[in-house]
Amino acid sequence: MNILLITSVLFLLVYTALIILYSIRWPKNCFIPRAGFTGSDKTNTHFSIIIAARNEEKHIGCLLQAIQNQTYASGNFEVIVVDDYSTDGTASIVQQFAFANLIKLKDIDGTQQLNSYKKKALETGIAQAKGEWIVCTDADCRVPPQWLETIAAFIEEKKPQMIVMPVAIQCSSRPIEIFQALDFMTLQGITATMLHHMCNGANLAYTKKAFDAVNGFDGIDEVASGDDMLLMYKIAKSFRGEIQYLKSTNVIVQTAPVKDVKEFFQQRIRWASKTGQYKEKGIWLSMLLVYLVNVLLLAFPVVALGTGNILYVKPWLALLVAKTGVEFVFLFPVAGFFNQKKLLWLFPLAQPFHIAYIVIAGWLGKFGSYNWKGRTVK
C-alpha cells in the first residue's frame, strides 16, 4: 500500500499544480464590443454558417429559428446545412426555412463509405461557402441572438484567423444531465485557459483563407472525430498566435445532453478516440497526467475490494477530498461565467463516477469502438 499511496500523492501534487495553472490563466474579463459597433452595418464581416446534420429533426428547426433571430444583418451571413444521409425529416424541416441552403451528402457521394462523414459534410459545405469566415455549430445546439454580432466585433478588434468560443450543456434536473454539464463545464474552463489545446466544433469560427491554407481536413480525414481540435492544430502551425478565445456570455452556445449513461459513454469514448492524433507534447503530458491520477484513485477501492483490506479506504478518501477541493476552486468561477453555480452541489458526489468514466472511456477510446449517429466506428 505504501508504494501506491506515495505514487498517488506525488501524482496528485503535480495534478494540483496543473489545476492551479488553469485557475491562474482563466480569463478574468469578458470581451465587450467597442462603443458604436452595430450588427446592422452592411460593411461588416460576412459569415458562412455551416451545419452538419444527421437525423436531427427534433433539433434543427429550433437552431434555424435562433439563427433567423440574430441581431446581425441578414445580408451579412448565409446558412448552409449539409444533410448527412438522414433517414428522418431533417431535410424537409430545413426546406421550410427559405434562408437556409440545403445540401444532401448522398447526392454528392452516393454510397461511398467514409470513416468521417462529419468532416466530409463540413468540407462540402465550406466548398460552397461565400463568406470570408466559416462559423460552425451543431444541429442540436441553440445560439444566442447576439452571437454573430459579437463575433464580428471581436474580429474587427482582434484580427484572428480562428476563434474558439464557449459551449454549455442545456440540462434539466436529471442527475445524468447535471453530471454532463459539470464535466463539460470543466473542459470548457480548460479550453479557455489552454488555448491551442482544446476547442469544440459546436462553437468555432475560422477564416476560409486559413482552412484553405492548411488544405482543410487533409491528413486527418480518416479520423472519425476531430473536425475541431485536429483542424485547430493544423491552423496553429501555420498561423501562430492567430487563434484566440472569445469569452463573452453573448456567444455561449447551448447544446443538448445525451439521454442516458450508455449514450454518454459512447460520446466520451468517441472524444477519447482522437487523442492518438495529438502531436503537441503539452497536451499529451496533461492528458496522461489526468488519466494516471484517475487510474491511481480507482486502484484504491479496487485493491480494497480485492484484498478485503479496509486500510485502503482512509487514504483513498483523503486523496479524493483533496482532488475534489482543488478542482472545485477552479470550477467555481467557470460555473459563474456559465451561470451554472446551482449545479455544483452534485460535483463532490459525482467524483467516484467521474474517476471511473475517465479510466474506462480513455481505455476504450484507444482500443475499442463506439457507435455514433447509428454508425459503428473503430
Q: Which residues contact 328 (CB under 8 A, 6 or more apart)?
A: 344, 347, 348
| Structure confidence at residue 43 (pLDDT) | 58
Residue of 4, 16, 2, 14 whose CA lies nearest to 330: 16
pLDDT in tens, the chain (378 residues): 678 888 999 999 999 999 999 999 998 888 988 776 766 665 579 999 999 999 999 999 999 999 999 999 999 999 999 999 999 999 999 999 999 999 998 888 655 666 678 888 999 999 999 999 999 999 999 999 999 999 999 999 999 999 999 999 999 889 999 999 999 999 999 999 987 778 999 999 999 999 999 999 998 877 767 788 889 999 999 998 899 999 999 999 999 998 889 889 888 888 887 776 676 777 888 888 999 999 999 988 887 777 777 777 888 899 999 999 999 999 999 999 999 999 999 999 999 999 999 999 888 887 766 666 666 665
| Structure confidence at residue 337 (pLDDT) | 95
Handedness of CA 123, 128, 131, 135 (dihedral sign): negative
Please state the domain extents for the chain.
Answer: 2-26+280-368, 47-166+203-257
Pairing of strands 162-164, 141-142: unpaired
| Structure confidence at residue 132 (pLDDT) | 96
| Structure confidence at residue 356 (pLDDT) | 92
Set of cell numbers at residue 96: 421550410
Residue of 81, 99, 205, 209 whose CA lies nearest to 152: 205
Q: Which residues contact 110 (CB under 8 A, 6 or more apart)?
A: none
DSSP label of 215:
T
Type of residue numbered 150 = T
Contact predicate 230/220, CB 8 Å: yes
Q: What are phi and psi of 377, to 5 degrees?
A: -120, 135
| Structure confidence at residue 106 (pLDDT) | 86
| Structure confidence at residue 18 (pLDDT) | 94
At the fourth CATH level, the homologous superfamily of domain 47-166+203-257 is Spore Coat Polysaccharide Biosynthesis Protein SpsA; Chain A (3.90.550.10)
| Structure confidence at residue 146 (pLDDT) | 95
Distance (Å, whole) CA 161 – CA 240 = 10
Distance (Å, whole) CA 2 – CA 12 = 15
| Structure confidence at residue 82 (pLDDT) | 96
Helical ranges in the chain per DSSP H: 2-25, 60-68, 90-94, 105-109, 117-128, 147-158, 175-193, 208-213, 229-238, 261-273, 281-307, 313-337, 346-349, 351-367
Read out DSSP for 181-202?
Answer: HHHHHHHHHHHHHSTTT---TT
Distances 161 to 45, 88, 208, 210 between C-alpha atoms, Å: 13, 36, 9, 6
Q: Which residues contact 301 (CB under 8 A, 6 or more apart)?
A: 312, 313, 316, 352
| Structure confidence at residue 114 (pLDDT) | 64
Distance (Å, whole) CA 232 – CA 163 = 10
pTM for this model (two decimals): 0.91
Residue of 41, 50, 47, 120 whose CA lies nearest to 73: 41
Residue of 185, 143, 232, 195 whose CA lies nearest to 340: 185
Distance (Å, whole) CA 341 – CA 364 = 32
DSSP label of 345:
T
308 backbone φψ class: left, alpha, beta (φ>0; ψ -120 to 50): left
